[in-house]
């Protein structure tokens, strides 16, 4: 099990994702809809290079649907072998349809040739509290290197935090009602901030249309550049199990 | 939506965390709201047996000792960049009994739940909705923002089974359409490749007698309609209608009538559904 968790974290390192744990994997595998034959592991030279967990559900009108609730692989050849084994298993189980989420980092177009795109629903998100999110977003090397020594007061919705950026790390303090004189100040609503972070809104456009406001003209350009760098570039990886 | 809609009585409607003994009512509610949601075992698997389950994370709306609403929180960390966790919470199985919808009960439930999530330190909240559904549109007004996810794929092994399942699901989610088509169920037929079945068969109320050919309405679907049909289940009402018209325009779906009267019958039903929505 630890090797599967390590594989998950390794393959998903570049994408935002729900943390994978031994407990959550064990829970998925022990589900009554997952049989022992429904767990697949790919190995190359004795090393785990991929795994898949398949659950079988009965949908309206008795449709037998196989859901590949987890599929993680490091390389295309393992993905091919896993999908081949799953197809074989599904034929044996007399399954009517198979649903899967494309694994990250692998060009899966050839593997899923003949499969149809399937809408599993829209994922929506909302910020509840900012400090931990801002800390995580600022904690990338390119931001720490480019903006070391700067301080930003984020006034987002009803929350206000001051982030101090150094080459070593990020220091977040709740600014409360006290004005923080050394910090450059940014004002925005919570959903505007989240839209910028998720790449749904360009910070320059948001500034021009008054959706965000930066105090002090000389701070505007670098804060907008910082916001652009805070954008999460890659899609949020959610397995089929997360979406169900 | 029932015609005898119960008026909201804030003093006898309470929002509270789950208590042992609520399970049967919750599962009944979920099956009423989603059709074939599942069994008590499924609920137990998703909630009490989940490694992160806590009784105070499942909320119900109760009115006169009857559970009329349900939604749950799942706390999980997300990893934004390597080593940087943010505590988050996902919302699941939001359901309000059809008789009590449109009274703002879900908003009240959500307020209570988000306060509870925030108190437990969650920085972000996530939820999944059917695209263009009422809840999806409503979530945008509540400050939710769409998040990009990797694509999902489906491999169809038996298209006729998928069609039947999609139709049943569609009829459950569109009670107005189901009601309108109810008295046509003996004469409405679907054909996909070599498979043909009547609506009565689909609803499990077919009788032995042969159909009256003059009343027969056949919906003939080409295999090329499958990519659209598989997405039917995850579409909102308006999108479904547009896709249906698109299929008819491209002749991937065709209608065949036993007589002009059959055509008039279907047209009349179509108008009554359009009028009610």
Domains of chain B (ranges; CATH) run: 10-141 (3.40.630.30), 159-276 (no CATH)
Residue B3 pLDDT > 60:
no
pLDDT cut 70: percent of chain A above it: 97
The per-residue pLDDT for A2 is: 83
The whole-angstrom separation of Cα A34 and Cα A93 is 12
3-state secondary structure at position B1: coil
Contact list, B240 vs chain A (CB under 8 Å): none
Residue B242 pLDDT > 70:
yes
Maximum pairwise Cα distance, chain A:
69
Which among A118, A149, A168 is the end of a domain? A118
Q: What are the backbone dihedrals phi and psi of residue B239, each rounded to the nearest 5 degrees, phi first?
A: -65, -40
Interface of A with B in 63-82 (CB under 8 A): 63-64
Contact list, A174 vs chain B (CB under 8 Å): none
Place of tokens 């409607």: B13
Q: How far is B64 from chain A (nearest CA, A)?
A: 31
- Closest residue on chain A to B232 (Cα): A119
pLDDT cut 90: percent of chain B above it: 25
Tell me: do A153 and A223 sit in the same domain: yes
Contact list, A117 vs chain B (CB under 8 Å): 151-154, 227, 231
Write down the mean pLDDT value for chain A: 88
3-state secondary structure at position B247: helix
Give me B137's structure tokens: 């549109």
pLDDT cut 70: percent of chain B above it: 91
The whole-angstrom separation of Cα B256 and Cα B220 is 8
Q: What are the backbone dihedrals phi and psi of residue B197, each rounded to the nearest 5 degrees, phi first?
A: -155, 150
Of residues B206 and A71, which shows the higher confidence score? A71
Count of domains observed in chain A: 2
Residue A64 pLDDT > 80:
yes
3-state secondary structure at position A192: helix
pLDDT digits (tens, 9 = 90+) for B183-205: 777 788 888 888 888 888 888 77
**Mutation to test the B interface, candidates A60, A88, A102, A198, most B Cβ within 10 Å:** A60
Q: Are A87 and A81 in contact (CB under 8 A)?
A: no
Does A238 fall in a domain? Answer: no
Domain containing A58 equals: 2-118
Q: Does any CB of chain B come closer than 8 Å to the CB of residue A181?
A: no
Write down the mean pLDDT value for chain B: 83
Contact list, B146 vs chain A (CB under 8 Å): 122-124, 198, 200
The per-residue pLDDT for A207 is: 93
Tell me: do A112 and A177 sit in the same domain: no
Tell me: do A111 and A146 sit in the same domain: no
CB distance B127–A117 less than 8 Å?
no
Length, in residues, of chain B: 277
Does A97 fall in a domain? Answer: yes
Give me B171's structure tokens: 């009829």
The per-residue pLDDT for B7 is: 40
CA A21, A24, A30, A34 torsion: positive or negative? negative
The per-residue pLDDT for B275 is: 64
Q: Are A129 and A112 in contact (CB under 8 A)?
A: no
Q: How far is A11 from chain B (nearest CA, A)?
A: 11
Determine if residue A167 is left, alpha or beta; phi over 0 gives left, psi from -120 to 50 gives alpha, anything else beta. Answer: alpha
Tell me: do A161 and A93 sit in the same domain: no
Tell me: do A96 and A188 sit in the same domain: no
Tell me: do A67 and A167 sit in the same domain: no
Query: Per-residue pLDDT averaged across A87-115, rounded?
Result: 88
Q: Are A104 and A237 in contact (CB under 8 A)?
A: yes
Give me A35's structure tokens: 């049989």
pLDDT digits (tens, 9 = 90+) for B59-117: 999 998 899 999 999 999 999 887 788 999 999 988 899 899 888 899 999 999 999 99
Q: In terms of Cα–Cα distance, which of B207, B134, B205, B204 is closest to B174? A: B134
CB distance A124–B90 less than 8 Å?
no
- Residue B102 C-beta-side C-alpha neighbours within 13 Å: 8
Q: How far is A121 from chain B (nearest CA, A)?
A: 5
**Mutation to test the A interface, candidates B152, B167, B168, B229, most A Cβ within 10 Å:** B152
pLDDT grade for B8, boundaries at 50, 70 and 90: very low
CB distance B123–A129 less than 8 Å?
yes
Does A143 fall in a domain? Answer: yes
pLDDT grade for A176, boundaries at 50, 70 and 90: low
CA A74, A75, A81, A84 torsion: positive or negative? positive
- Closest residue on chain B to A22 (Cα): B51
Long-range contacts of the stretch B106-109 (C-beta < 8 A, 24+): B106/B69, B106/B71, B107/B142, B108/B15, B108/B61, B109/B15, B109/B59, B109/B61, B109/B69, B109/B71
Query: Per-residue pLDDT averaged across B3-22, rounded?
Result: 70
The per-residue pLDDT for B207 is: 66
pLDDT grade for A178, boundaries at 50, 70 and 90: low
Give me A52's structure tokens: 């898949």
Of A178-182, A239-243, B34-38, B124-128, give the lowest mean pLDDT range. A178-182
Tell me: do A100 and A163 sit in the same domain: no
Orientation angle between helical segments A217-230 and A190-197, nearest 10 degrees: 60
Does A244 fall in a domain? Answer: no
pLDDT grade for B2, boundaries at 50, 70 and 90: very low
Place of tokens 């003059």: B214
pLDDT digits (tens, 9 = 90+) for A144-171: 999 999 999 999 988 889 999 998 888 8
CB distance B77–A104 less than 8 Å?
no
pLDDT grade for A217, boundaries at 50, 70 and 90: confident
The per-residue pLDDT for A85 is: 95
The per-residue pLDDT for B10 is: 55
Q: Does any CB of chain A come closer than 8 Å to the CB of residue B79?
A: yes
Interface of B with A in 120-179 (CB under 8 A): 121-131, 136, 139-140, 142-158, 161-162, 164-165, 167-169, 172
Tell me: do A100 and A206 sit in the same domain: no
């Amino acid at each position: 099990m630890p090797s599967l968790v390590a594989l998950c974290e390794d393959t998903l390192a570049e994408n935002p994702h729900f943390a994978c744990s031994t407990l959550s994997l064990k829970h998925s595998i022990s589900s009554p809809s997952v049989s022992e034959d429904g767990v697949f592991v790919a190995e190359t030279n004795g090393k785990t290079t991929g795994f898949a967990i398949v659950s079988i559900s009965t949908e309206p009108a008795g449709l037998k649907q196989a859901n590949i609730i987890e599929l993680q692989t490091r390389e295309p050849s393992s993905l091919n072998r896993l999908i081949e084994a799953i197809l074989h298993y599904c034929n044996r189980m007399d399954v009517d349809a198979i649903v899967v989420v494309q694994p990250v980092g692998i060009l899966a177009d050839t593997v899923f040739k003949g499969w149809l795109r399937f809408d599993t629903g829209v994922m929506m998100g909302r910020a509840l509290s900012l400090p931990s999110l801002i800390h995580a977003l600022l904690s990338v090397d390119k931001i720490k290197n480019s903006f070391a020594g700067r301080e930003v007061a984020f006034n987002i919705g009803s929350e206000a935090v001051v982030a101090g950026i150094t080459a070593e790390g990020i220091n977040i303090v709740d600014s409360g009602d006290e004005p923080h004189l050394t910090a450059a100040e940014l004002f925005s609503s919570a959903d505007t901030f989240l839209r910028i972070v998720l790449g749904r809104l360009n910070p320059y456009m948001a500034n021009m249309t008054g959706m965000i406001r930066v105090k002090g003209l000389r701070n505007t350009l670098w804060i907008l550049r910082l916001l652009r760098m805070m954008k999460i570039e890659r899609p949020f990886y959610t397995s089929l199990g997360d979406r169900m | 939506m029932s015609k005898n809609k119960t008026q909201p009585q804030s003093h006898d409607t309470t929002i509270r965390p789950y208590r042992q003994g609520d399970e049967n009512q919750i599962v009944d509610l979920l099956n009423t709201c989603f059709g074939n949601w599942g069994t008590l075992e499924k609920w137990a698997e998703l909630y009490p047996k989940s490694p992160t389950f806590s009784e105070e994370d499942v909320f119900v709306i109760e009115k006169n000792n009857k559970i009329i609403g349900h939604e749950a929180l799942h706390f999980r960390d997300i990893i934004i960049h390597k080593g940087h966790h943010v505590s988050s919470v996902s919302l699941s199985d939001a359901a309000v009994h059809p008789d009590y919808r449109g009274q703002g009960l879900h908003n009240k439930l959500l307020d209570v739940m988000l306060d509870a999530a925030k108190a437990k330190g969650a920085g972000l909240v996530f939820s999944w909705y059917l695209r263009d559904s009422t809840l999806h549109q409503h979530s945008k007004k509540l400050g939710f923002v769409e998040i990009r996810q990797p694509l999902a794929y489906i491999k169809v092994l038996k298209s006729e089974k998928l069609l039947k399942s999609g139709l049943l699901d569609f009829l459950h989610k569109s009670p107005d359409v189901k009601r309108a088509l109810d008295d046509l169920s003996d004469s409405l037929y679907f054909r996909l490749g070599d498979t043909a079945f009547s609506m009565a068969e689909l609803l499990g109320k077919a009788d032995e007698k042969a159909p009256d050919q003059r009343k027969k309405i056949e919906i003939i679907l080409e295999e090329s309609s499958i990519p659209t049909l598989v997405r039917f289940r995850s579409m909102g009402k308006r999108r479904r209608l547009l896709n249906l018209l698109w299929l008819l325009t491209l002749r991937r779906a065709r209608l065949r009538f036993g007589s002009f009267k059959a055509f008039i019958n279907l047209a009349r039903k179509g108008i009554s559904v359009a009028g009610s929505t």
